[in-house]
């Protein structure tokens, strides 16, 4: 198995910076590259900002924020790294150019994982001469807090590579699911998209405001979904009969709801409606303050769940 004590992150935006912080917290050294002006300063400031939160969550026992090296090229960044997390802009030509640049200098057993949310594994593999050690490793934002990583390989992936990637992610504190079939958006983003589609439909139809639809989610099913998934929860909804009884009892109800779900489109008018509705709901609170509040609440939820979730 590949030595992952030294890692690399290509791209130091929101996702790349968060990955960097988490890899550092796990006791690994991290080489980072991002060509954007001021990227190194922003990255180091980000790590300093989120480190106390990771300390409180018990994620930093093995790590130090100082084991970081900012590099001048992608090639320099990946040299000697056992695990590379790629977070460059989500344009297939940029991905392919990056892969072509780094492939000749990668360690033979290095794993490269892409954080891509919109591009499929197959689309990205076309940028490699030999994609055997390249996998999908799609996180949820911010990766240093949200546990989920969606991992995928296919027939072009060397046997055992996906399992090695899953073991790496587990060691840095992640929870993985394996994507078995290539579909746009993978798994969790499709679930998000389905919920948001109906949220938009409800606002368009005048059923509720943007703020109240969001409130209905975080004060209702969202709270339950932080503990268990929807199928498991519905399995608890019919008493001793379990999921079979629930399906038998509510089949007509759900079929009726599904038939009535909307099919909104994200056009300029819809975006304007949502933007104005969100501004009203948040009372114009700056995005930075909203993000800080989100992270504080996620930390509180994770802390509480850690005390009760089965190991």
* 141 & 118 share domain: yes
Residue 262 resides in a domain: yes
Residue 209 resides in a domain: yes
C-alpha angle 223/225/226, rounded to 5°? 70
First to last CA, the chain: 25
Cα(161)–Cα(84) distance, integer angstroms: 13
* 202 & 156 share domain: no
**124: containing domain:** 6-178
* 249 & 290 share domain: yes
DSSP SS3 for 295:
helix
Domains in the chain: how many in total? Answer: 2
Q: How high is the pLDDT of residue 238?
A: 87
Q: How high is the pLDDT of residue 307?
A: 87
* β-sheet with 134-139: strand ranges across: 68-70, 29-33, 6-10, 83-86, 111-114, 134-139, 148-152, 175-178
Residue 311 resides in a domain: no
Which residue matches tokens 């150019």?
Answer: 97
Residue 1 resides in a domain: no
Q: How high is the pLDDT of residue 309?
A: 81
The residues of the chain scoring below 70 in pLDDT are 311
Domain containing 287 — which CATH number?
Answer: 1.10.1040.10
pTM greater than 0.85: yes
Domain boundary residue, one of 178, 197, 216: 178
* 91 & 227 share domain: no
Q: How high is the pLDDT of residue 278?
A: 95
Domain boundary residue, one of 178, 209, 240: 178
* 300 & 207 share domain: yes
Q: Which two tokens stand for residue 92?
A: 């297939």
* 74 & 198 share domain: no
* 23 & 152 share domain: yes
Q: How high is the pLDDT of residue 310?
A: 80
* 137 & 21 share domain: yes
Nearest CA among 105, 109, 121 for reference residue 71: 105
Residue 51 resides in a domain: yes
Domain boundary residue, one of 151, 178, 205: 178
* 142 & 221 share domain: no
* 40 & 138 share domain: yes
* Helix or strand run (H / E) with residue 161: helix 161-171
Q: Please state the separation of Cα 108 from the chain's center in Å.
A: 27
Burial 48-57 (b: 16+ CB within 10 A, else e): eebbebbeeb
């Amino acid at each position: 198995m590949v030595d992952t004590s030294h890692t690399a992150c290509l791209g130091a935006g929101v996702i790349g910076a968060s990955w960097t912080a988490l890899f550092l917290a796990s006791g690994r050294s991290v080489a980072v590259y991002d060509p954007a002006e001021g990227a190194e300063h922003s990255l180091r400031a980000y790590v300093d900002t989120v480190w106390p939160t990771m300390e409180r969550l018990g994620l930093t026992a093995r790590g130090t924020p100082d084991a970081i090296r900012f590099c001048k090229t992608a090639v320099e960044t990946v040299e000697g790294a056992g695990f590379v997390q790629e977070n460059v802009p989500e344009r297939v030509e940029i991905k392919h150019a990056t892969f072509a640049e780094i492939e000749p200098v990668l360690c033979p057993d290095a794993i490269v994982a892409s954080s891509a949310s919109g591009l499929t594994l197959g689309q990205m593999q076309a940028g490699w001469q030999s994609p055997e050690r390249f996998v999908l490793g799609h996180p949820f934002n911010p990766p240093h807090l949200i546990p989920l990583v969606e991992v995928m390989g296919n027939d072009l992936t060397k046997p055992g590579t996906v399992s090695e990637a899953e073991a790496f992610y587990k060691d840095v504190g992640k929870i993985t699911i394996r994507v078995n079939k290539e579909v746009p958006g993978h798994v969790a983003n499709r679930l998000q998209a389905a919920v948001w589609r109906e949220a938009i439909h409800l606002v368009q139809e005048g059923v509720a405001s943007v703020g109240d639809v969001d409130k209905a989610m975080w004060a209702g099913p969202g709270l339950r979904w932080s503990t268990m998934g929807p199928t498991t929860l519905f399995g608890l909804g019919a008493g001793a009969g379990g999921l079979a009884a629930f399906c038998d009892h509510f089949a007509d109800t759900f079929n009726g709801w599904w038939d009535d779900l909307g099919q909104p489109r994200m056009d300029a008018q819809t975006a304007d409606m949502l933007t104005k509705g969100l501004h009203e709901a948040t009372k114009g609170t700056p995005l930075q303050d909203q993000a800080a509040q989100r992270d504080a609440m996620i930390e509180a939820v994770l802390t509480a769940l850690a005390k009760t979730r089965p190991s």
